[in-house]
Amino acid sequence: MKKLILLVALLTLVAFVSGAMAQEKAKATPGKAEKAAAALGKFAGAIDNVDAAAKTIVVKMKVKKEEKTMTFAIGDATKITKGKETLSFGDLKAGMDVAVDYKKEGDKNIAATIKVAAPKAAPKKK
């Protein structure tokens, strides 16, 4: 009887330890979505130029007194949205406020997602 109790206790301990180790390993290994999100850069500003032939946009951001511009290539996988509405590359115009999630491939910035900001409401006249 003592051997049976000892055996059950040992098996319970082994099951507990292996379950804890598997859970710790799952935490240490990031999934595909986490890796992809970590690899994406972010940039926000106003579209300065749209090049339909090269299928690129130039986004300008003003930080304090400095202006920073970045060029983004738009691919077939690029998701362009405005709120819940999906837009196409042809809908992008200079002056639109956008937030771009991009990945770097060599010396190119490839846009993964482009979120167009809704236009600000004009102030009400009194």
Please state, as a whole number, how many other Cβ atoms lie within 10 Å of the Cβ of residue 31: 9
CA dist 48 and 105 (Å) reads 22
Q: Are residues 20 and 49 in the same domain?
A: no
Task: Say whether both 63 and 24 belong to one domain.
Answer: no
Tell me whether residue 36 is in a domain: no
Would 122 be classed as within a structural domain?
no
Cα–Cα dist 85/25, whole Å: 39
User: Could you list the residue range(s) of the whole structural domain that residue 61 is in?
Assistant: 41-116
* 76-107 pLDDT, tens digit each: 899 999 989 999 999 999 999 999 999 998 89
What is the CATH classification number for the domain harbouring 62?
2.40.50.320
Q: Verify that 57 and 12 share a domain, yes or no.
A: no
Segment 9-64, tens digit of pLDDT: 777 777 776 766 666 655 555 555 555 555 789 999 999 999 999 999 999 998 78
